[in-house]
């Protein structure tokens, strides 16, 4: 079997986790199943399993993100791995060292995994193409491109609430243009066989090429939310807005904010998701975020289990080869 | 038994540790006794006990304090807990996330304890009022309000040197107005039954309402130090001084600095304490700080044991419920 | 036996590791032999040994260096020690606390080792002179003075490739004036009995007194590299250059950069070393840095083993006394 996907090793097993795109359905299901086995670890008195004891995991953050760094650090520690946090902005690049030389150094120290966060799309792939056999790379968000562990924790949360994907209508709402997680979600939902994936947002924030991914585009909540089982709200990336893509936050909220009223358009048992951090009163009404249909905090809890699963899977693979 | 104290659970056991105020004498004695059992851990070859293995403790510092963060981190690691350091100034709040949403996220990650440092009085209480049942909050200093673990390590140090509190005269000297630890010390000494608690300082740095706490106020070292068994010097919080509350550091030292000469006014076996970091030549003479009556560095050592005791007590409580 | 060397305890065993100067050949050989026993730890599935479990090691960095901090942190964690990272620039000194008071506090917390990085020459010695019996100090680079663990990892790398030192000609090339590691390398090579140590560089970057260390000085690569077995390139410390010690980077590269052409002057099996981070095209040609004679990344790998050896040796000594 010939594998050209850089994420897989020669046996077709997951070696890196860079993007959902190109992965098989079974690989995603394996991640979800393994995450299920870790989901109870967080509730135990001793929240630790010894799976990755003696492994060294490096959080390589070229872009600061306390929230994401924290979830990966917790997941790694609960797997008993050693964790190094390296903030590159404040680091060696100031001495003029190239990125590849810095990576080569970390590799020489026998690190096992790089968890990479970068403002540029494709950065995690670039790094994965240059690491030796014994290193795995996990993408913790790169530019507008992908945020695959976030998408997988969303899938995990959906499966826990809704079971199989084949009968589900899912709407992703908001700023698709700047969202790294939306692309990953669409790939995951499509691969897992969701009945229909819709994206809803203003024309300025929906890139045209997104239709190529097999989604239905809506510019109106009334129509877009009708009959959906799952609503995924996206964060309005105000800090990324450049120029006047939006008339005003107020008008945005009027048209695309998820209010109690708009929520009633969806199925009565629809769940509401959000990758966080939420902008209350901007893309979502507080009463919805905190309401009975919201599973936003469950997503956070599930994020630890899913990240543990991804880490254990890519590094466990190496163990099997020994 | 009805408990209105937010620090206690329904069985009256310590759940949070926010302030000394309102705690019973027996609770304080329990902390001191448990700290006694940890006091030897720091001298062992393997400075670790497995009590909190698999627990996740988050240092949530809204105000930078390497010294305090270090002592809590060490205490947690010696209890075998996993520690996350989160510096909030540099963190998610820049993305416009509310404090409560950030806490809800950390809670969803199954963290067990927040060690909170904040420049605003009442911040730790605010957080404690909003966390779910499985989370404990420890106040690591909030504004001018309280610093209860510091006060307890002071009590521990006093008890080790002087035995019971009932016969002790204790003087707290200096900037009472800006001191978070002084209030906690007064509550602890009063609760533990000290014979007399005195505060000594210039009128501008002694808030009037402090008399309500049952202390005697002195504005003169000659009178205030007479017959005392314990002298607690406070740090002159120069970085907090706003406006001209003091004539000059030099004059302050002349009147309220603890010199060899002034130390002789107290009992000959009086001990000298200071929460650190000390300002040599400002509130204390170097020869006193380093002299035979000084127990300042013992306080630091005891601080690890006392923080271990507080952490083990509030989290151990949860374990018993399971 | 009278020992005046501050690095040794009364039994002549290594207590601190501050400088190579003054250490006996056997001590260096012991470090290399112990490092050999740790060299395989990094290749194991579980990269951990329990030697320093329950010990507290403090990375005390007065000067930021992610690379060096990372190697010490990894070495400590692979020995199962607890690690505290303290960045002093951002720390207590801003509250006006003196260095010695800060150290006294860390000592009182029963820390076992300070790994010290400082921009001033002699800082690690200063600290070592002031710590109590139970604390060991390891110099992680002080000003222009010494970087002894770096020199020892270089020796380890040389021994692995070349065996005994007695027949070796070693050339150290570049900016000797600002290099902390060059002095340490010269002392190590001399103590280990290298046949000849040469230094090569422009007159402005070779301090005259270096001849007193028993090296031969060259200002020309043609002559200096002839017959050498080992070439140690130094980093051009551009950030330390003050004033016009160099005509231009381009001219420097022409005269002292290690190119494929100049490498051919040395013995055909000569190895090329560099402490990193490398300036490609400034002191070394990329094809040399990445070529078959380069052992630069092996140095990084060996750095973990050597730092583990130094830490285990100075702290293991204490264990034996118990």
Confidence at residue A121, expressed as pLDDT on a 0 to 100 scale: 85
Dihedral over Cα of B296, B68, C136, B157: its sign = positive
Cis peptide before C174 (omega within 30 of 0): no
Closest-CA residue to B78 (of C55, C73, A79): C55
Question: Between C64, C279, C300, which is nearest A109 by CB?
Answer: C300
Average pLDDT over residues A98-127: 91
Number of H helices, E strands in chain B: 11, 9
- C95 part of the active site: yes
Name the minimum distance, in Å, from the CA of C46 to any CA of chain A. 4
Strand stretches in chain C, DSSP E: 56-61, 82-87, 113-118, 136-142, 169-173, 196-200, 216-218, 230-233, 271-273
Architecture of domain B148-295: 3-Layer(aba) Sandwich (3.40)
What is the torsion angle, in degrees rounded to the nearest 10, for the CA atoms of residue A94, residue A96, residue A100 and residue A102? -50
What gap in Å lies between CA A289 and CA A1, rounded to an integer? Answer: 46
Q: Is the pLDDT of residue A245 over 70?
A: no
Phi-psi region at B143: left, alpha or beta (left = phi > 0; alpha = psi -120 to 50) = left
Confidence of residue A232 (pLDDT cuts 50, 70, 90): very high
Q: Is the pLDDT of residue A303 over 90?
A: yes
Average pLDDT over residues B148-175: 97
- Pick the residue from chain C with its C-alpha nearest to A93: C277
Confidence at residue C258, expressed as pLDDT on a 0 to 100 scale: 98
**3-state helix vs strand vs coil in chain C, percent to 5:** 45, 15, 40
Q: Are A167 and A195 in contact (CB under 8 A)?
A: yes
- Pick the residue from chain B with its C-alpha nearest to A239: B95
Tell me whether the CATH fold assigned to B25-146+301-321 matches the one assigned to B148-295.
yes
Confidence of residue A94 (pLDDT cuts 50, 70, 90): very low
Q: Is the pLDDT of residue A319 over 50?
A: no
CATH (residue range C25-146+301-321): 3.40.50.1370
Q: Are B57 and B84 in contact (CB under 8 A)?
A: yes
Cis peptide before B273 (omega within 30 of 0): no
Cα B8 to its chain centre, rounded Å, is 19
- The token duo for B20 is 């000394």
What gap in Å lies between CA B148 and CA B20, rounded to an integer? Answer: 6
- Pick the residue from chain B with its C-alpha nearest to C110: B42
Q: Is the pLDDT of residue B3 over 70?
A: no
- The token duo for A156 is 């995990």
Q: Which residues of B touch C76 (CB under 8 A)?
A: none
Q: What are the CA-CA distances from residue C197 to residues A18, B120, C44, C193 (Å)?
A: 49, 62, 36, 10
- The token duo for C216 is 């031969």
β-strand A230-233 against A271-273: which pairing, if any?
parallel
Closest-CA residue to B110 (of A87, A30, A39): A39
Closest-CA residue to B286 (of B255, B264, B253): B253
Residues 6+ apart with CB under 8 A from B117: B59, B60, B61, B62, B63, B65, B68, B69, B140, B141, B142
Q: Are B213 and B200 in contact (CB under 8 A)?
A: no
Confidence at residue B269, expressed as pLDDT on a 0 to 100 scale: 98
Confidence of residue B240 (pLDDT cuts 50, 70, 90): low
What gap in Å lies between CA C284 and CA A242, rounded to an integer? Answer: 42
Phi, psi of A283 (to 5 degrees): -110, -10
Confidence at residue C321, expressed as pLDDT on a 0 to 100 scale: 40
Q: Is the pLDDT of residue A322 over 70?
A: no
What gap in Å lies between CA A168 and CA A230, rounded to an integer? Answer: 8
Closest-CA residue to B25 (of B169, B202, B229, B193): B193
What gap in Å lies between CA A16 and CA A19, rounded to an integer? Answer: 9
Q: Is the pLDDT of residue A115 over 70?
A: yes
Confidence at residue C241, expressed as pLDDT on a 0 to 100 scale: 59
> For every residue of C215-261, which 3-state class applies, written as one string?
CEEECCHHHHCCCCCEEEECCCCHHHCCCCCCCCHHHHHHHHCECHH
What gap in Å lies between CA B3 and CA A93, rounded to an integer? Answer: 56
Confidence of residue B90 (pLDDT cuts 50, 70, 90): low
Contact C67 A319 (CB under 8 A): no
Closest-CA residue to A27 (of A42, A5, A58): A5
Confidence at residue B316, expressed as pLDDT on a 0 to 100 scale: 86
C132 at the A interface (CB within 8 A)? no
Strand order in the sheet with C113-118: C82-87, C56-61, C113-118, C136-142
Q: Are B165 and B189 in contact (CB under 8 A)?
A: yes
Query: Which of the pair, C299 or B318, is modelled with greater confidence?
Result: C299
Name the minimum distance, in Å, from the CA of A135 to any CA of chain C. 12
Name the minimum distance, in Å, from the CA of B80 to any CA of chain A. 11
Confidence at residue A1, expressed as pLDDT on a 0 to 100 scale: 39
Contact B67 C105 (CB under 8 A): yes
Which chains does A contact via 3+ CB–CB distances below 8 A?
Answer: B, C
Q: Is the pLDDT of residue A2 over 70?
A: no
Residue B168 has a CB neighbour count (10 Å cut-off) of 20
What gap in Å lies between CA C278 and CA C26, rounded to an integer? Answer: 32
Class for domain A148-296, per CATH?
alpha beta
Residues 6+ apart with CB under 8 A from C205: C174, C175, C176, C177, C178, C245, C246
CATH (residue range A25-147+301-321): 3.40.50.1370
What gap in Å lies between CA B75 and CA B69, rounded to an integer? Answer: 10
What gap in Å lies between CA C286 and CA C281, rounded to an integer? Answer: 7
The angle formed by the CA atoms of residues A80, C90 and A82, to the nearest 5 degrees, is: 10
Token pair 């190239």 is found at: A98
β-strand C56-61 against A56-61: which pairing, if any?
unpaired
Residues 6+ apart with CB under 8 A from B262: B221, B225
For chain A, what are the domain ranges? 25-147+301-321, 148-296
Q: Which residues of A touch B102 (CB under 8 A)?
A: 277
Range in A129-138, B95-104, B131-140, C305-314 with the lowest mean pLDDT: B95-104
Residues 6+ apart with CB under 8 A from C26: none
User: Could you give the percent of chain A with pLDDT greater than 90?
Assistant: 72
Confidence of residue A3 (pLDDT cuts 50, 70, 90): very low
Range in A220-234, B306-320, C176-190 with the lowest mean pLDDT: B306-320
What gap in Å lies between CA B165 and CA B187, rounded to an integer? Answer: 13
Contact A90 C64 (CB under 8 A): yes
Confidence of residue B321 (pLDDT cuts 50, 70, 90): very low
Query: Which of the pair, B91 or A159, is modelled with greater confidence?
Result: A159
Name the minimum distance, in Å, from the CA of C314 to any CA of chain B. 14
Q: What element of type H or E holds A271?
A: strand A271-273
* Mean pLDDT computed over every residue of chain B: 90
Q: Are A308 and A83 in contact (CB under 8 A)?
A: no
Q: Which of A30-44, A232-246, C82-96 has the highest mean pLDDT?
A: A30-44
- The token duo for C10 is 């009364």
* Mean pLDDT computed over every residue of chain A: 90
Confidence at residue C1, expressed as pLDDT on a 0 to 100 scale: 39
Residues 6+ apart with CB under 8 A from C274: C232, C233, C234, C235, C283, C284, C289, C294, C296, C299
Confidence at residue B320, expressed as pLDDT on a 0 to 100 scale: 43
Q: pTM score, two decimals?
A: 0.89
How many CB pairs lie under 8 A apart between chains A and C? 71
Q: Length of chain B, please? A: 322
Average pLDDT over residues A184-212: 95
Q: What are the CA-CA distances from residue B188 to residues B33, B153, B184, B302 (Å)?
A: 15, 10, 6, 16
pLDDT by 10s per residue, chain C, length 322: 344 589 999 888 999 999 999 999 999 999 999 999 999 887 787 888 999 999 999 999 998 888 899 999 999 999 999 999 988 875 444 455 688 888 999 999 999 999 999 988 889 999 999 999 889 999 999 887 889 999 999 999 999 999 999 999 999 999 999 888 999 999 999 999 999 999 999 998 999 889 999 999 999 999 999 999 999 999 987 765 556 666 788 888 999 999 999 999 999 999 999 998 899 999 999 999 999 999 999 999 999 999 999 999 999 874 444 3
ipTM value:
0.87
Q: Which of B88, B107, B108, B132 to mutate to test the interface with A (most CBs of A within 10 A)?
A: B108
User: Could you give the percent of chain B with pLDDT greater than 70?
Assistant: 92
Q: Which of B70, B73, B301, B305 to mutate to test the interface with C (most CBs of C within 10 A)?
A: B70
Query: Which of the pair, B10 or B95, is modelled with greater confidence?
Result: B10
Confidence at residue A272, expressed as pLDDT on a 0 to 100 scale: 98
């Amino acid at each position: 079997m010939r594998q050209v996907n850089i994420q897989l090793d020669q046996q077709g097993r997951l070696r890196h986790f860079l993007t959902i795109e190109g992965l098989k359905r079974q690989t995603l299901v394996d991640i979800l199943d393994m995450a299920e086995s870790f989901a109870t670890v967080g509730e135990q008195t001793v929240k630790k399993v010894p799976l990755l004891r003696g492994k060294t995991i490096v959080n390589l953050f070229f872009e600061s993100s306390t929230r994401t760094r924290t979830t990966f650090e917790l997941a790694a520690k609960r797997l008993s791995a050693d964790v190094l946090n390296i903030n590159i902005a404040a680091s060696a690049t100031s001495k003029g060292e190239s990125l590849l030389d810095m990576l080569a150094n970390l590799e020489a120290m026998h690190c096992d995994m790089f968890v990479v966060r970068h403002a540029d799309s494709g950065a995690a792939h670039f790094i994965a193409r240059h690491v030796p056999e014994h290193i795995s790379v996990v993408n913790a968000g790169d530019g507008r491109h992908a945020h695959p562990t976030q998408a997988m924790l969303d899938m995990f949360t959906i499966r826990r609430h809704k079971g199989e994907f084949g009968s589900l209508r899912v709407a992703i709402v908001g700023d698709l243009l700047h969202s790294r997680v939306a692309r990953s979600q669409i790939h995951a939902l499509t691969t897992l066989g969701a009945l229909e994936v819709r994206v809803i947002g203003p024309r300025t924030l929906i890139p045209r090429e997104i239709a190529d991914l097999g989604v239905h585009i809506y510019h109106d909540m009334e129509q877009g939310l009708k009959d959906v089982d799952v609503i995924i709200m996206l964060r309005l990336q105000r800090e990324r807005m450049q120029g006047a893509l939006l008339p005003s936050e107020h008008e945005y909220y009027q048209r695309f904010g998820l209010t109690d009223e708009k929520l009633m358009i969806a199925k009565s048992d629809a769940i509401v998701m959000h990758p966080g951090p939420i902008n209350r009163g901007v893309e979502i009404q507080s009463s919805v975020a905190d309401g009975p249909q919201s599973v936003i905090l469950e997503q956070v809890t599930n994020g630890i289990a899913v990240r543990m699963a991804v880490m254990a899977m890519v590094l466990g693979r190496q163990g099997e080869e020994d």
